[in-house]
Structure 1
Amino acid sequence: MIVVSSATSNTGSAVAEALLAAGEKVRVLGRDRNRLQRFADRGAEAVEARNDDPDSLRGAFDGAHAAFVMIAPGLIPGSTDYPAYQRRVISAHREALAAVPGLTRIVSLSGWAANYDGARGPVWGLRRLEEALDTLPGVEPTHLRPGWFMENTLPMIEEIRATGVARGLIPAGLPLPAIDTADIGQVAAGLLTGQRAARTRTLELQGPRDITLAEITAAIGEALGRRDARYEQIDAATLRDTLLAGGFSAHMADGTTAMTSDVAERRIAMTRPRDAETATSTTFDEFLARILR
């Protein structure tokens, strides 16, 4: 049995889909049983479980020989103490997984922010998750550190569709190691089943090439018939004000702005070159075509 935690998240669902497509016996976990139904319809066992509740998770992982885990949701806009939530999630998973006999493989979703010792905001807990899982006896975890998710462009698509202008803190010309979540799911599934092995405990992942927000904006504009589409860089104060206006707490607005600044100013960056192990195949144009069809 392979257990997929947070199976209704973008990445968790990609892992579950890849495992089911490979014919694996899968148990999917999530807070809402109804949102797990699409996996149950394909033969998965669906279990309602809270991400930050060790008692709930302990039973949910019973019988697993492999597990995919992550901190989800990755963002709680109204939170006033998101690190406290992350600590609860990490502790609950560590406690639950330690009690599972026969568990041999764990794959965690970390992120490229874990490359940076001073990571702030919503990505603060990624390195802490890795460190907690590393202490599990008898288990060799693999921590995936994917780069910039292509799904981050979904709000940009709607902005460009509505106004022709996308705004953000990251410079237009900064090369980003963009990656499709579906590709992360394929890598995780391969590691969980033993069809793939990682040379190191942490595995950076990135798409076939870096891409800038200027290129992304042009591609979205072309796809939407908005050839006037443009990207406008804003400053940190403007981003924070925008987040506050969108319903973020001051705590989450500050943290999200700090995290984005770390990307914009290259403190969060890849440390390994793109090669056969770290590169995935889906291009941004392919991702965009799938999203818009």
Structure 2
Amino acid sequence: MIVITTPTGDIGRQVVDRVLEGGEPVRVIVRDPSRLPAHVRARAEVVEGSHADADTITRALKGADGMFWLVPPAGFHDAGSARSHYLEFTRSVCREAAARGVRVVGVTSLGRGYQGEAGLLSAALAMDELIEASGVPYRALALPFFMENLLRQAPAIKEHGTFSMANAADRPLPTVATRDVAAAAAALLLDSSWSGQARVPLAGPDNLTPDAMAEVISDTLGRTVRYHQIPLSDFRTAMVQRGASPAFAQDMAAMVEAQNNGIYDTEPRNPGSAAATGFRQWCQDTLKLDTRP
């Protein structure tokens, strides 16, 4: 039995489908079962609740062999720190998985060894340390910037020919597509041969700056798209003005500052483990569909 968290999320839903295709029995943890696709409700066992809840985790891991673990980011209005959010989410699963010998495949950040605060990324790395200290068999999918983050920019790209972030325009930003993350996670969940603990850095074959991304997007869409860099202080202030808690805004700003300082370059990546999807291919397959006139 393989337990999957966040089965309605961008990554989790793809993991569910891939594991079901692999023929393994699946159990999903979900707050609202009505959000599950009909084929998942028909084929998977459903545990209703939050995977931050100890009782829910206990029910979900009964008789399980493996688990896909992903902590959703703290809420926009959450007044607490990202680190507290990640660790509170994870403590129960560490206890239960260790007690039951459940192997865990988790989603985390590239950047182990980075010296400095990195907001959401530091929280994910602290989560890894907590899981590893429990002795749970663990494969940490260590990831950079998600290509899918740019889908939030689709309206601006479509209407104004621009996309904006606080990331340095001339700093290479490793990226990964969620479909490659899901493929790697499902492969590990379906492979019963591994044990122990290891990190699995995963990034696409490109290492483009935001300015270079704009050039690729322009080529793909057949119209000029430019990148606009927002000052980091303006980025943080704008988030608070839109209703974000100061803690959330600070964690986001610290994450971007760390990206600008090269956090993803502090952890070695094996060229042979590069994800399959390049940025241009992702733009053709995904972004182009969301920016059609």
TM-score (norm 2): 0.89
Matches within 5 A, 1:30-45: 30-38=30-38, 40-41=40-41, 43-45=43-45
Which among 180, 186, 193 is matched to residue 189 of structure 1?
Answer: 186
Alignment CA distance shift 1:22-1:37 (3 Å):
same
**Farther-moved stretch of structure 1 (48-57 vs 126-135):** 126-135
Structure 1 equivalent of residue 259 of structure 2: 263
CA-to-aligned-CA distance 1:92-122 (integer Å, 9 cap, x gap)? 222332343x52x211111114442534322
Gaps of at least 5 residues in structure 1 are none
In structure 2, give the amino acid aligned to 1:70.
L
In structure 2, give the amino acid aligned to 1:284.
F
TM-score (norm 1): 0.89
CA distance in 2, matches of 1:200, 1:120: 24
**Farther-moved stretch of structure 1 (126-135 vs 60-69):** 126-135
Gaps of at least 5 residues in structure 2 are none
Q: Does 1:247 align with 2:251?
A: no
CA distance in 1, matches of 2:140, 2:175: 18
Runs of 4+ in 1 over 6 A off after TM superposition: none
Pairwise CA distance, 1:134: 1.8
How many residues end up aligned between the 2 structures? 287
Alignment CA distance shift 1:273-1:88 (3 Å):
closer
Which among 90, 96, 112 is matched to residue 110 of structure 2?
Answer: 112
Matches within 5 A, 1:232-243: 232-243=228-239
CA-to-aligned-CA distance 1:223-243 (integer Å, 9 cap, x gap)? 44432x211212111111221
Matches within 5 A, 1:90-169: 90-100=90-100, 102-103=101-102, 105-137=103-135, 139-169=136-166
Contact 2:138 2:197 in 1 (8 A): no
SS state at 1:244 partner = helix
Contact 1:37 1:46 in 2 (8 A): no
Alignment CA distance shift 1:9-1:116 (3 Å):
farther
**Farther-moved stretch of structure 1 (90-99 vs 34-43):** 34-43
The alignment's C-alpha RMSD in Å is 2.3
CA-to-aligned-CA distance 1:12-54 (integer Å, 9 cap, x gap)? 2222222122222111212221122345246122222212211
Identity rate of aligned residues, in percent? 26
CA-to-aligned-CA distance 1:193-230 (integer Å, 9 cap, x gap)? 21785997111111122122122222333444432x21
CA distance in 2, matches of 1:203, 1:97: 20
Structure 1 equivalent of residue 77 of structure 2: 78
CA distance in 2, matches of 1:114, 1:4: 25
Contact 1:119 1:268 in 2 (8 A): no
In structure 1, give the amino acid aligned to 2:77.
G
Contact 1:171 1:264 in 2 (8 A): yes
**Farther-moved stretch of structure 1 (23-32 vs 188-197):** 188-197
SS state at 2:271 partner = coil
